[in-house]
């Protein structure tokens, strides 16, 4: 994955995300929208074969990059919690 900033201001952020698709961008967008400081979050895929997706976000207050960092950390925790719950529910090794 490669990230290429397009526009970065205090309250707006637009980044081209190279090598990824909506599998990672949709959960990120949803998590961003749960943040009360975030006014707008969306990802754009202009053409599925010819363009790289972009994520755009704007905050009502606070720094956009900090809001993005909070969202990423929250997603990491959710995935770790899910992984633990899955391992507890479905052991990966048979116990003899």
The CATH number that applies at residue 77 is: 3.30.1360.10
- Number of domains observed in the structure of the chain: 1
pLDDT score at 33:
97
Instruction: Name the residue range of residue 78's domain.
Output: 2-89
What long-range pairs does 21-26 form, CB within 8 A, spacing at least 24? 21/45, 21/53, 22/53, 25/53, 25/55
Task: Give the pLDDT of the chain (96 residues) as one tens digit per residue.
Answer: 899 999 999 999 999 999 998 899 999 999 999 999 999 999 999 998 899 999 999 999 999 999 999 999 999 999 999 999 999 998 776 555
At residue 48, the pLDDT reads 83
Is 66 a member of any domain? Answer: yes
Instruction: Tell me the three state secondary structure of residue 73.
Output: helix
Does 95 map to a domain? no
pLDDT of residue 95: 52
Predicted pLDDT at 92: 73
């Amino acid at each position: 994955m490669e990230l290429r900033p397009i526009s970065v201001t205090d309250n707006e952020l637009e980044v081209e995300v190279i090598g990824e698709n909506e599998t990672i961008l949709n959960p990120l967008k949803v998590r961003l929208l749960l943040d009360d400081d975030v006014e707008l979050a969306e990802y754009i895929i202009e053409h599925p074969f010819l363009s790289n997706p972009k994520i755009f976000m704007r905050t009502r207050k606070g720094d956009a990059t900090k809001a993005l960092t909070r969202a990423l950390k929250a997603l990491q925790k959710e995935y770790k919690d899910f992984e633990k719950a899955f391992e507890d529910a479905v052991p990966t090794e048979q116990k003899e």
